[in-house]
Structures are given as C-alpha cells and as structure tokens.
Amino acid sequence: MRVALFTPLAVSAVLALAAPWAGGRLPPRMAAWLLTLASLVAAVGAATALGMMAFTLIAQIPAVAAEGEWSPGLVAAHTPVNWLVAAVCTLAVVGCAGALAVSAWRQGAVWLAARRECDALPTGSDLAVVDDPVPHAFALPGSPGRVVISSGMLRALSADERSALLAHERAHLRHRHHLFLLVLRLAAALNPMLRPVARAGGFAVERWADEEAGTLVGDRSLVARAVARAALAAKRAPRRSLAATGGPLPQRVRALLAPPPPLRRDLVVAHALLMVICCSSLALSADDMDQLFDTASPGHAYAAGRLHHHHHEG
C-alpha cells in the first residue's frame, strides 16, 4: 500500500522533469492535450494520495473515530505511514487546497474582467479594432470570443503579417485555449511540482495557434515573421488575454522556421502509461484504505478474536 500511495507523487515528478523535453518533440496540438490531461490526472492523483495519508492521522482523533465507528488504536497499529509523514501530508493538503482556492479566485476574476471587456466592445464581428497608438493584439475568450487589435499594431505590420497574426488569435478562440491554460494553472496550484508542466503546456498552446495560423495562411515563415515583429512592436499585452506575443518567443520562431515535429507514438504511449499508472495506484490505495478501516472496526476485531479463539479450542 505504501508504494501505491506515493506513486502519484512519483508520476508528478516524472512529468515535471520530462514535460519540457517531450512537449517540444510532439505536434503542438497533441502536446497541449497530453500535457493538460496528464497534469490534471497527476494533480488530482497526488492530492488524493496526500489526503489518504493525512486521513490515517485524522482518523485517530477520538471524535472522528467515534463518528466513523473504528478504533483509533487499531488504525494506528495498521496505518501504512507513521504519524510524522501523515502530519506533513495534512499540512501539504491544507496548503495545496488554499493555493487552489486562491488560483481559482484569480482565474475567475480574470475571466470576469475579460467578459466585461468583451461585452463592452462593438458587436457585429469577431474582430475589434481599438484606436490606440500602442501596438497590441490579443484574444478575449467569451460567447463569442473577440480578437482585439490596436491601430498601432495594424500600422506596425504588413497586410500579410496582419493576416497571420489574426489567424493566430482566432485559433486561440476556436480551440478554446483559455480552458487548457485554466486547467494547467489550477493543476499547478494544487500540485506545485507540476509548474514546469504548466509552462510547457502554455508553450504548446501558443505553438498550436502558430501552426494553425501557418496552415491557414500557407506560410509558416510568415507567421514567424508576424509574431516576431508583433513582439518587437508591442509595449503591453493585458494579462487576461491570449496574446500572440506570449510564450518563449525565440523558441516559437525557431520552431516555425524548422520542419513541423512528427507524431512520436512512443511519447504519446509514455504519457498515457503514466496516467494509467497514476489511476491504478489510486484505485489500489483506495481499496487498501477500505480494508484498513474495516480491520480497525470493532466488529471486525471482535470477529477476528472469536475466530482465533475457536481455532485454539479446535
């Protein structure tokens, strides 16, 4: 049971180490999906495992044991982790839950601000041009979402570059990339080990929009030129937006100027295997925890004692 309980934490560590490397060697769309799903599974899995270990200590509190109808002494005798490990896990669960709540509140505030700004824009098109000499362009998620571009950015780019930039922003809206980023950020808040996965996932999302824009305009080097020039021209980009100038720009430009990465089935299988291992270990741990509290119940202890007594009499 002890190995199974720590497996989700080990999976999180492997993902944190491998995600930046693996994400850059997969097609961006596949990388974004895999990293987002893997981070969600690992975050929930690690939090659940920590919660199970923490509960082995909480279950020894007399009031909790009375409510659950089990013996604190028997729980202490059969627990898979000692009290110190369980106490650390309890603090970790409280801290991670608090970080998740803060992150969720911040993301909610950002989303509401984006919706208000989106609703305030003129209707009739998914594109809103604002009269602002400062160059900026970004996508605002909503129902429907809007692409916002300033007059300063329009002047900074050629007609072809404007088309490439708008294709990038529309790709963000079409594929609801803000939801991918939301999951990645919440998973990293719940499980801080997954912060490298969140960064790699955010980069994959930007690369996904880059590649789709390259397909739409028929020239990946044009997209590289457009995002590079937009980044050089931009002075600011609202934090609540999906901006074409986001992410590690030099790496994005290099990727667009190189051939598209092929599908690596081995990396896909490796990510899927990690998720299966995480889920299987949780199922095994849950079953073992159920047996632990069955063993710690007075009825079970009495039945075991009677069976032992009859065995000696025989």
pLDDT in tens, 79-113: 888 889 989 999 999 999 999 999 999 988 888 87
The encoded tokens of residue 47 equal: 């939090």
Q: Return the pLDDT at 308.
A: 44
DSSP 25: T
For 230-267, write each residue's pLDDT tens digit: 888 775 444 445 555 556 788 888 999 888 888 889 89
pLDDT band per the 50, 70, 90 thresholds, residue 299: low
C-alpha to C-alpha distance for 257 and 262, rounded to whole angstroms = 15
CA nearest 154: which of 179, 176, 127?
A: 127
| Helix 83-120 and helix 28-58, axial crossing angle in degrees, nearest 10 | 140
Residue 241 backbone dihedrals phi, psi, to 5 degrees: -105, 165
How many Å separate Cα 211 from the centre of its chain? 22
Highest mean pLDDT out of 61-65, 240-244, 309-313: 61-65
Q: Which residue has the higher pLDDT, 136 or 34?
A: 34
The encoded tokens of residue 104 equal: 């969720």
User: Maximum Cα–Cα distance for the chain, whole Å?
Assistant: 96
C-alpha to C-alpha distance for 83 and 58, rounded to whole angstroms = 10
Question: Cα torsion for 297, 300, 305, 306, to the nearest 10°?
Answer: 140
Highest mean pLDDT out of 77-86, 120-129, 277-286, 291-300: 277-286
How many Å separate Cα 214 from the centre of its chain? 26
Q: Return the pLDDT at 120.
A: 74
Average pLDDT (286-298) is: 81
C-alpha to C-alpha distance for 69 and 17, rounded to whole angstroms = 43
C-alpha to C-alpha distance for 275 and 38, rounded to whole angstroms = 6
Q: Is the pLDDT score of 306 beyond 50?
A: no
Q: Which residues of 77-92 are buried (b: 16+ CB within 10 A; e: fewer)?
A: eebbbeeebbeebbeb
C-alpha to C-alpha distance for 238 and 33, rounded to whole angstroms = 25
CA nearest 90: which of 50, 131, 120, 59?
A: 50
Q: What is the mean pLDDT of the chain?
A: 85
Residue 199 has a CB neighbour count (10 Å cut-off) of 18
Residue 52 has a CB neighbour count (10 Å cut-off) of 23
The 127-130 sheet, strands edge to edge = 127-130, 146-150, 137-140, 242-243
C-alpha to C-alpha distance for 138 and 118, rounded to whole angstroms = 11
C-alpha to C-alpha distance for 215 and 302, rounded to whole angstroms = 71
pTM: 0.84
Q: Which residue has the tokens 């969140």?
A: 198
The encoded tokens of residue 314 equal: 């025989």
pLDDT band per the 50, 70, 90 thresholds, residue 305: very low
